[in-house]
Structure 1
Amino acid sequence: MNGLLSFVPDSPIMAFTVLLLVTLTIPPIFERLRVPGLVGLLAAGVLLGPSVTGLLDPAGDVETLLSDVGKIYLMFVAGLEIDLRDFKKTRNRSLGFGLATFAIPLTGGLLLSRAFGFDWVAAVLVGSLLASHTLLAYPIVMRLGVTKEESVTATVGATIFTDIGALLVLAMCIAADAGDFSAQMVVSQLLMLGLFSIAVLVGLDWVGKQYFRQNGGKEGNQFLFVLAAVFLAAVGSQLINVDKIVGAFLAGLAVNDVVGNGPVKEKVEFVGGVLFIPFFFICMGLLLDVQILMESLTTNLAFTVALVLVLVGSKFLAVLVVKPFFGYGWNQTLTMWSLSLPQVAATLAAALVGLQQGIISALEFNAVIVMMLITSVLGPLLTSRFAGRLVTPKFTKPDQTSLWFDYGETAIIPDDTTSAGPFTVVVPIYNPITQRYLIEMAALLANHEGGHIIPVTVTRAQVHMDDLNLVSSLAQSRKLLQKAEALSQEFNAQAFPVLRVDDDVSEGITRTAREQNASLILMGWSRQGFRAKLFGTLIDDVFWSSHCPVAVARLLAEPIDIHRILVPMKNVSPQAVRTASFAQIFADTHNASVTLLHVSDRHTPTDQIQAFEAALAKVMANGPQTTWDLRTVCHDNPAEVILDVAQTHDMVVLRSMRRRTAGGLAVSDVTHKVIDEATCSLVLFGEPHS
C-alpha cells in the first residue's frame, strides 16, 4: 500500500469492508449531483486502486472473486429484466432493429479500429463492444408510463439479439486470439453454443418450474436454486470455451419465466443490486490507471473521441434504417436511439474479458470506459427528452369497479373473486393514535360504495399457545377491536372485526384481506413510520404482497374536514389514473374537490401538453362527478412545485410503485421529498402489478 495508508491492514476482511462502505456511501452522493451512481462507483475504484491510494488490489483474491461474481450477476440480471411477454408481441420488429443496431455499430467499430492500426481480432472485438446496449434508461420510460409503447418494447426485445450477438463475437475473438480460429472451429463453436443455449433455456426453465412447484412456500430454497442455476450456467459456458457471462445471460432468460415478478425475483435482484453488481463496478475502477487514462485523453484522444462519435452515429444510423420499415414517427425513432446508446453491462463485461485476454490494451480499455461514462449520462438525458413526447396512451371507459379489481392487462381474476362480493375495506389496527381517523376514512369509503369495514389486529404467534405474552397481546388486541367497532358505529358503518394469530404481522394482514376478498387495505403511518418503511418493515411488506390496492395514510385532520385534495399526475398510465380515481371517490364521499397537478419539463412541446390534458380530462370524466380541475406547470423541479401547491390543500395523494429496491419499497425522489416536507395530510396509494 502507498505511504499514508501503509498502516491499513492488508487482509480479505479489510478489502470487503472497504467495498461495503463505498457501496453504501458513494452512489447517493453522485445521484444527488444528478450523475448515475455507477459513475461514482467507478470513480471510487480509481481512487482506491493502485494508481492512486493502493488501498485495494485488483489482483487480490477478494477483489477478483467479487468482480467475477458481480460480472456474472450483472449479465444474469440483464437477462432476467427482459420481459419475454412484451418481446413476443414485437419479436419481428425486435429482430429487425436488433440486427440493425448490432451490425451497423459492429461495422463502424471495426472500420474505425482498422483505421487506427488495430489487428483484425482487436478490431472485431472493439466493434462488438459497440454492438450491444444496456437499458440504463428503462426506469425513465417506466416513470413516464410508456413501457407498452411499441418502439420501447421493440428496443427492449432487441437487447436479446444484441447482447447474445456481442457475446458470441467475443467468444470468436478469444478463440481467434488463441490461434484456434478456423471455419471448422466457427461451425463447431456455433453448434456447441446452440446446443448449450437450448439446454440452458429449455432445461433450466423446465427444471425450475418443477422445483418451484415442489417448493412453493420455501422462498429460501427457491432463491438458492436460482443462484445455483446462474453459476452452473456460467461454469457450463466455460466448459464449451465460451466466456461465463454468456451462460449467465442465458440463465437470466431461462429463469425469467420461472420466477416471474414475485418475491424470489426481488430477493435475487436485491442481493445483486446491493452487493455484487456495485462491487463489480468498483473493481472495474481498480483496473483504471489514472496515468493511462490521462494518456487516453491526450495522446490517445483522437481514438477516444472517434469511438464515442462512431457509437453515437452508428446507433442513430441504425434507427434511421428501420424507421421507414416500421412507420415510426421521429419521437419514437429518437426514443429508440436514446435507449440503445448506453454501453454498460455487456460492454463492460466484454471489455474486461478482452483486457484480461490481452486482445485490447489498457489504452483501448480506458477509451471504452470513457465511452461508457459519456453514454451512461447522455442516454438517460435524451430518453427523458424524447420518451416524454411519445403519444399518450388511450384508455377505454372503465367500469364501476375498475379501481378495485382491474389490476392490469395481464391479470387473471376469476369472476367469483371480483365484483360478486360487497365492497370491503380492511383496516389493520395497531396504533391507537391513528385509529380514529383511519376508521372514519374507511367508513366514508365503505358507505359510499355500499360496503363494510373489517378492522383487523394481528398478534404474533408463539411456540406455545398459552404463552403469557401471547395472552396479554390478545387481550390488548381485543380492546383495540372493541374501540374500532364502536368508532364504526359512530360513523354509521357496518364493521366485522377480525382477531388473527399469525407468524408474521404483514402476512396476517394480507391473508385476511385475501380471505375476506377485500377491495382495499387502509393503513396508517407517521413520519417516523415512513422512514422506517423504506428499510423493509410492516408497511413495505403489506404493499408488496397484497392482492388489492393499499392506501397508507398520514391524516392530520378528520377526513370529513379534508376538502381540497391534490393529486400529482406524472402520466396517464392506468396505475396513475386509478390513483386519481381513488382521490375522486374519497372526495365524492363528502363533496370535496380534487386538483390534478402535472409538472412537465420546460422543453415539452405545447401540443404534447394539450394532448396530455385532453386524454386526462376524457378519463376523469368517466369517474365520480366530483369537482376537479387540472393544473399544468412547466418546471424543472417537480417536488418544489408540488410542495408549493400543497400549501393550499388539505391532503396530497401520491402513487407508490409495487417494486422493491435496495432500500425497500420503490418511491421516486420527488415522492420522497414531498412526504418528508409536506405539512398536510398524505396518502400513499399502491396496487398490485404497479
Structure 2
Amino acid sequence: MALNSLADSPIIAFTILLTVIFTIPPIFEKLRLPGLVGLLVAGVVLGQNGLKLLDSESDTIKLLSDIGKIYLMFVAGLEIDLEQFRKTKNRSIGFGFMTFIVPMIAGTLVGHLFNFSWNASVLIGSLLASHTLLAYPIVSRLGVVTNEAVTVTIGATIFTDTGALLVLAICVGIHAGEFSALSLVTLLGGLAIYAVVVLFGFDWAGKEFFRRSGDEQSNQFLFILLALFLASVGAQVIGVEKIVGAFLAGLAVNDVLGRSPVKEKVEFIGSVLFIPCFFVDMGLLIDIPAFIKTLSSIWLTLAIVVALIGSKFIAAFFAKLLYRYNTAELLTMWSLSLPQVAATLAATLVAYQTVNAAGERLINEGVLNSVIVLMLVTAILGPVITARFATSLQLSPVDLETDKLTTWWGNSEDQLADKSDELFTVIVPVYNPQTQRYLIEMAALLARHESGRIVALAITKAHIQMDDPQLSIALNQSKQRLNFAREISQEFGVEVSPAIRIDDDAALGISRASREQNANLVVMGWSRTTGLRARLFGSVIDSVFWSSHCQVAVTRLLSSPTTIKRILVPVGDLTRQTIGAVRFAQILADVNQAEVVLLHVSNRKTPPTLTEKFTSQWSDIAAKSQLQVTTNIQTIKDDDIARVIIREAEAFDLAVLRSVRYRTAGGLAVSQVTTRVIQELKCSIVLLGEPNS
C-alpha cells in the first residue's frame, strides 16, 4: 500500500493517531517542552507538508478533531470552579470584564492595523480576550488558592470564555452572509433562550438523573456525553458554533458532577484521546511554507503576542488599583490570565474553517499561525511567572489554637457546632483478616485520644435472594471479623459498636453507614485497585473520598501503629488541609511519644528568603500545638520532590500524605508526586482525603 493512500483507511489513520498520542507527548515532556507542542509537531510531520500519512480533510480526522474541539470546551466549562466564583462574584465579574475588554480592544486595533476587516479584527480581539487556567496546579500546590486575587482570577474565567464565544458566534454569523440588525437581535435572543435552557435544564435533569440512578456510573457517564452532544447540536440548530454549546454544557453539569468518579472518567477519556486528536489536527493544518512566511514577516505575530501580554498586564494593573491588591497579587493575576489554550485554539480553528459564499476565510493562515505561536509562548511564560511570584502571596488566616480532630477535620463551623456534644466516632470497615488488627489499632488509638468510640463495619455483598446460602456464609464471616475487632478494641479500652451492612456497592455502603452513625472519621485499609484500572473503573478509595460526608484516612500499615516512633509529613503548601494532616500526625505521635518531622522540598531556584519564610510559618504552627510532641522541620532544595520524600522516608516508621489531584483547565492531567511516592515508599502510609477530594 502506498504511503499517500494510508490516510484513506480510517483504521490505519486511527492507529497512527493512537501511536502519536501514546509516544510523542512523553518524549517532549522529557525535553522539558509541553506535550501539546509534540502533538502539533507530529501533525506537521505526518501531514501534507511531511510524510502525508494523515489528511486533515479525511472523515476520520474531521470527526475525531471535531469531538476533541467540543470536548476541550466542555472540559473548560467543567473545570471552572463555580464555588470560587460565587465567593467573589462581584470582583470576578469586574476583573473578568477588564481582562476581556482590554485585550479585545488591543486585538481589534492590531487587526485593523494589519488591514483586516472590522469583523475579522473584532474576532482577533476576542481570541485574545479569554484565558486558560494552565497554572492552576501551581497555585493549588503552593496553597494560595484561597488568596482573593487568585480566587477572583479563577472566577473571571467564566466571564472571559463566555464573552469570547459570544463574540465568535456573532462574527461567524456576520461572515456567513447578509447580517442585519434584525438578524443580530434574532441571534442574540435565540442564544439567550438556548443558554437558559441548557444551563438550567441540563442542571436540573442531571441532578434528577444522578439521584435516581444511584451508583450506576456507566449510565451517568453516558448521560454526561449525551448532554455534551445534545448541547452542541442544539447550538448548531440555532445558528451558533457548536463549541458554544459544549462550553455551556460543561457549566450546566458542573455542579452535578462535582468531583465525582464520573467526572474523572469524563475528563480521562477526553485528555487521553479526543483532545490530543484536536491538537494533532491543528498541526495538520499548519502549512510550513505559509508558517515560515508568517515568521519571516514577523510583525503580525509579534504584534499579537505583545498585544496579548501587554493588555492582560494592563487589566491586572487596573484590578490592582481598583481592589487594592499588592504587587505579588498583580503579577499572579497577570500570569494566571496569560495562557491562551482551550477557548483560544478552539475558536481560532472555527474562525479559520469558516468560509463565506465568496470562498473567503474569516481569518487567514497568518492569524492561525500567529495564534499557535501565541499559545506556545503564553503556555510557557504564564506558569513560569506564576511559579515565581505566587510564592509571595499572603495566605488566608487560619485558626491554629486547637488540636482536636473534630476541629481540623470538620466540614464547616455549622457542622462542628452540631457535633460538639456528640461522641467522636471512627468508622472502620473490616474485610481483610490479615490487615484487620493494625487497622483496628490505628482507629482505637485515635478514638482513645479523642475520648470517642469505634464502629466496626462489615460490608456483605448483596444477593438477589436474601435466603441465598452464599449470603448466609458471608454474613457469618462478617460476624467473625466483627468479634475479632471487638477483642482488639477492648485491649485499648475503647468502646466498639459492631455493624453489618448488606449492600451492592462497598464504597457507598461505607459512606452511608458513616452518615447514619454521624461519624467524624473513616479509617480504611489499602485498596488493590490502582493505576490505569482505577482511572477507568474507579476504586473503593476514590468512591469513598467522593461520597463520604466526613474525612477519610486510608492506611497501609506494615507494623503495629503502637510501635510508630518517627512520623514524616511532607508539606508543600500552607492550606488548612495540610495543617490538618500535620495535626493528625501530632495526635498519633502524642499517643506513642513519637517524633514528627515536617519535610519541605523546595525548588532549587526558590529564593532563600521565601524558603526561610515558609519554614518560619511552619515553626509557628508547630509551636502553637498544645500537645507535648517533638516537631522538627527539615527543608531540602531539590527539583525531584518525589525522590527526596522516598529517600528521607527510609528512616521513618510512617509517612502521612494528602490525597490531591491536579488538573489543568484543558483536561490535561498533571503528574502527581503522591502517586509515585505511594508506589515506592517502604514504610507505613496514611493517605488523608477530605470530602470531594
Residues 198 and 99 of structure 1, relative CA distance in 2, 3 Å threshold: same
1:378 matches 2:376: no
TM normalised by structure 2 equals 0.89
Match runs of 1:589-600 below 5 Å: 589-600=591-602
Residues 45 and 486 of structure 1, relative CA distance in 2, 3 Å threshold: farther
**Contact map agreement 1:565 1:652 (CA 8 A) in 2:** yes
Give the Cα–Cα distance (whole angstroms) in 2 for the partners of residues 285 and 145 of structure 1: 36
1:346 matches 2:343: yes
Q: Give the letter aligned to residue 628 of structure 1.
A: T
1:452 matches 2:450: no
1:333 matches 2:330: yes
1:366 matches 2:384: no
Q: Give the letter aligned to residue 103 of structure 1.
A: I
Q: Name 2:61's counterpart in structure 1.
A: 63
Q: Give the letter aligned to residue 633 of structure 1.
A: I
Give the Cα–Cα distance (whole angstroms) in 1 for the partners of residues 36 and 268 of structure 2: 16
**Contact map agreement 1:454 1:498 (CA 8 A) in 2:** yes
Residues 315 and 541 of structure 1, relative CA distance in 2, 3 Å threshold: same
**Contact map agreement 1:407 1:687 (CA 8 A) in 2:** no
Give the Cα–Cα distance (whole angstroms) in 1 for the partners of residues 533 and 216 of structure 2: 27
Give the Cα–Cα distance (whole angstroms) in 2 for the partners of residues 180 and 360 of structure 1: 18
**Contact map agreement 2:650 2:683 (CA 8 A) in 1:** yes
Q: Name 1:125's counterpart in structure 2.
A: 123
Give the Cα–Cα distance (whole angstroms) in 1 for the partners of residues 343 and 518 of structure 2: 45
Q: Give the letter aligned to residue 325 of structure 2.
A: Y
Give the Å deviation of 1:110: 2.7
Residues 117 and 51 of structure 1, relative CA distance in 2, 3 Å threshold: same
Give the Cα–Cα distance (whole angstroms) in 2 for the partners of residues 661 and 382 of structure 1: 16
Q: Give the letter aligned to residue 54 of structure 1.
A: K
Give the Å deviation of 1:194: 3.3
Relative contact order (C-alpha < 8 Å, sep 6+): which is higher?
A: 2
Q: CA-atom RMSD, angstroms?
A: 3.3
Q: Name 1:390's counterpart in structure 2.
A: 393
**Contact map agreement 1:564 1:649 (CA 8 A) in 2:** yes
Q: Name 2:636's counterpart in structure 1.
A: 633
**Contact map agreement 2:646 2:681 (CA 8 A) in 1:** yes
Residues 638 and 403 of structure 1, relative CA distance in 2, 3 Å threshold: farther
Q: Name 1:483's counterpart in structure 2.
A: 484
Match of 1:681 among 656, 680, 684: 684
Q: Name 2:306's counterpart in structure 1.
A: 309
**Contact map agreement 1:41 1:282 (CA 8 A) in 2:** yes
Q: Give the letter aligned to residue 110 of structure 2.
A: L
TM normalised by structure 1 equals 0.89
**Contact map agreement 1:403 1:578 (CA 8 A) in 2:** no
Gaps of 5+ in 1: none
SS in 1 for 2:555: strand
Match of 1:273 among 247, 271, 274: 271
Greater Cα offset, 454-463 or 199-208? 199-208
Summarize deviations over 1:225-258 as a string: whole Å, max 9, x none: 4433333332333233221212222233333344
**Contact map agreement 2:404 2:450 (CA 8 A) in 1:** no
1:439 matches 2:436: no
Give the Cα–Cα distance (whole angstroms) in 2 for the partners of residues 537 and 324 of structure 1: 48
Q: Name 1:463's counterpart in structure 2.
A: 464
Match runs of 1:524-539 below 5 Å: 524-525=525-526, 536-539=538-541
Match runs of 1:11-410 below 5 Å: 11-209=9-207, 222-297=220-295, 299-357=296-354, 358-397=361-400, 399=402, 401-403=404-406, 406-408=409-411
Aligned length: 683
Give the Å deviation of 1:24: 4.3
Summarize deviations over 1:519-577 as a string: whole Å, max 9, x none: 22222338996897566323333333222222222223322221111111111211111
Give the Å deviation of 1:660: 9.3
SS in 2 for 1:135: coil
Give the Cα–Cα distance (whole angstroms) in 2 for the partners of residues 247 and 530 of structure 1: 33
Q: Name 1:653's counterpart in structure 2.
A: 656
Give the Å deviation of 1:580: 0.9
Residues 198 and 428 of structure 1, relative CA distance in 2, 3 Å threshold: closer
Q: Name 1:556's counterpart in structure 2.
A: 558
Summarize deviations over 1:256-283 as a string: whole Å, max 9, x none: 3444444554444344334433332233
**Contact map agreement 1:656 1:667 (CA 8 A) in 2:** no
Q: Name 1:518's counterpart in structure 2.
A: 519
SS in 2 for 1:57: coil
**Contact map agreement 1:2 1:53 (CA 8 A) in 2:** no
Q: Name 1:588's counterpart in structure 2.
A: 590
**Contact map agreement 2:198 2:231 (CA 8 A) in 1:** yes
SS in 1 for 2:628: coil
Gaps of 5+ in 2: 355-360
Give the Cα–Cα distance (whole angstroms) in 2 for the partners of residues 105 and 11 of structure 1: 43
Summarize deviations over 1:353-397 as a string: whole Å, max 9, x none: 111111222343122112112211221222122222211221124
Residues 544 and 262 of structure 1, relative CA distance in 2, 3 Å threshold: closer
Greater Cα offset, 622-631 or 366-375? 622-631
Greater Cα offset, 459-468 or 546-555? 459-468
Residues 154 and 528 of structure 1, relative CA distance in 2, 3 Å threshold: closer
Give the Å deviation of 1:654: 0.8
Summarize deviations over 1:643-690 as a string: whole Å, max 9, x none: 33323322211110278999x9x9963222322333322221112144
**Contact map agreement 1:544 1:658 (CA 8 A) in 2:** no
**Contact map agreement 2:546 2:692 (CA 8 A) in 1:** no
Give the Cα–Cα distance (whole angstroms) in 2 for the partners of residues 533 and 188 of structure 1: 48
**Contact map agreement 1:424 1:517 (CA 8 A) in 2:** yes
Give the Å deviation of 1:492: 4.0
Give the Cα–Cα distance (whole angstroms) in 1 for the partners of residues 605 and 201 of structure 2: 49
**Contact map agreement 1:300 1:363 (CA 8 A) in 2:** no
Give the Cα–Cα distance (whole angstroms) in 2 for the partners of residues 576 and 532 of structure 1: 28
Summarize deviations over 1:606-663 as a string: whole Å, max 9, x none: 554454344434444245332212223343332233233323322211110278999x
**Contact map agreement 2:260 2:692 (CA 8 A) in 1:** no
Residues 35 and 454 of structure 1, relative CA distance in 2, 3 Å threshold: farther
Give the Cα–Cα distance (whole angstroms) in 1 for the partners of residues 302 and 74 of structure 2: 31
Residues 34 and 451 of structure 1, relative CA distance in 2, 3 Å threshold: farther
Q: Name 1:578's counterpart in structure 2.
A: 580
Residues 582 and 661 of structure 1, relative CA distance in 2, 3 Å threshold: farther
SS in 1 for 2:569: strand
Greater Cα offset, 630-639 or 144-153? 630-639
Q: Give the letter aligned to residue 588 of structure 1.
A: D
Q: Name 2:425's counterpart in structure 1.
A: 424
Residues 65 and 528 of structure 1, relative CA distance in 2, 3 Å threshold: closer
Give the Cα–Cα distance (whole angstroms) in 2 for the partners of residues 667 and 377 of structure 1: 15
1:670 matches 2:667: no
